[in-house]
Amino acid sequence: MSNDIQDLKQPLAKANAGLDSVHVFAPATVANVVCGFDVLGFAVNEPGDEVVMRRTNKPGISISKITGDNGRLPMDPAKNTVSVSVEHYLKSVGRLDVGVDIELHKKMPIGSGLGSSSASTVAGLYAIKTLLGDDSNPAKLLPFAMKGEELACGHGHADNVAPALFGGFVLIRSYEPLDVVRLPHPKDLWCAIVFPDVDVPTREARQIIRNKINMKDAVTQWGNIAGLVSGLFMQDIDLIGRSMQDVLVEPVRSMLIPDFYEMRKMAMDLGAVSFGISGSGPSVFAFTRDEQTARLITGKLKQHLNSIKIGANTYVSTINDAGPRVIG
Report yes or no: 180 and 265 within 8 Å, Cβ to Cβ: no
279 annotated as ligand-binding: no
113 annotated as ligand-binding: yes
Cis peptide before 47 (omega within 30 of 0): yes
109 annotated as ligand-binding: yes
Q: How far is CA 96 from the centre of its chain?
A: 28
307 annotated as ligand-binding: no
Question: Which amino acid type is present at position 323?
Answer: G
Q: Which residues are catalytic?
A: 149, 202
| Pairing assessment for the beta strands 60-67 and 99-105 based on DSSP bridges | parallel
119 annotated as ligand-binding: yes
2 annotated as ligand-binding: no
Distance CA 55, CA 53 (A): 7
Report yes or no: 72 and 120 within 8 Å, Cβ to Cβ: no
114 annotated as ligand-binding: yes
Which stretches does DSSP call E strand in the chain?
Answer: 21-31, 40-56, 60-67, 99-105, 169-175, 178-183, 190-196, 274-277, 284-288, 312-318, 325-326
110 annotated as ligand-binding: yes
Helices 116-131, 81-92: axis angle to 10 degrees equals: 40
Look at residues 127, 104, 130 and name the one whose alpha carbon lies nearest to residue 117: 104
111 annotated as ligand-binding: yes
280 annotated as ligand-binding: no
15 annotated as ligand-binding: no
Look at residues 221, 268, 227, 286 and name the one whose alpha carbon lies nearest to residue 249: 221
Report yes or no: 44 and 82 within 8 Å, Cβ to Cβ: no
Binding site, by residue number, is 109-119
Binding site for ATP, by residue number, is 109-119
